Amino acid sequence: MASVIDQCQVAPPPGSAAELTLPLTYFDHMCFNYLIGDHPRNAKDFYHFVPQLAEPKEERMHRGQISPSAAIQVTLFPNHGISIGFTNNHVAGDGATIVGFIRAWAILHKFGGHEQFFSDEFIPFYDRSVIKDPYGQGMFIWDEMKKYNPEMHDIVTLPDHKVRGTFTITRDDIGKLKNLILSRQQSTLTHVTSFTVTLLLMYGLA
């Protein structure tokens, strides 16, 4: 097993070499098309577009650590578009919170930053007083966590040997699925959303 003793960077002296930009060839496009296609792709090929949270820093005043709440990475695919990757610390927000942040960001950008188009539904709810703990479970869990010396950052293990595929559902397909669900005799629904029928199709229930 090898050990890294030292690392150094070697570069030409400033001004001794002219900057050079190489344009992409069709070989490169054959790759940025592999990722955006609908065919099955290896999931690990997408991990480069997901940012990593910075390591927490020691905070001397309060004798604790300061941990970053989120990281955003924008990857440019020339002549094809961009990819925006998000990683967030679950202490600051769960999945629903980060999705609400993305939607709010998109709306503000769409309307030039005018907050009158901003809805209160995108504002995260952090009032912890609504959670009651009559049996002191919070203190018990905290005492147990201190035994394992927890760190203030998420431990993310990206799975290997996974395949990612894309499936396109047209408006007509969604309409047919809605009619199919509503036409069933045992159905008591009067309205079915596109999201609902998509999930039913994914899990083979439609």
pTM, two decimals, is 0.55
Q: Which amino acid would we find at residue 149?
A: N
78: CB partners within 8 A, 6+ apart: 24, 32
Are 91 and 64 in contact, with CB atoms under 8 Å apart? no
Task: To the nearest 10°, report the CA torsion of 68, 87, 146, 65.
Answer: -10
pLDDT at site 172: 92
How would you write the pLDDT of the chain (206 residues) with one tens digit per residue?
Answer: 556 667 777 676 777 767 666 666 655 555 567 777 778 888 888 888 888 887 777 777 766 777 788 888 888 877 778 888 888 877 777 777 788 888 888 888 888 877 776 667 777 777 878 888 888 888 888 888 777 665 555 556 677 788 888 888 888 988 988 888 888 756 677 778 888 888 888 777 65
pLDDT at site 104: 83
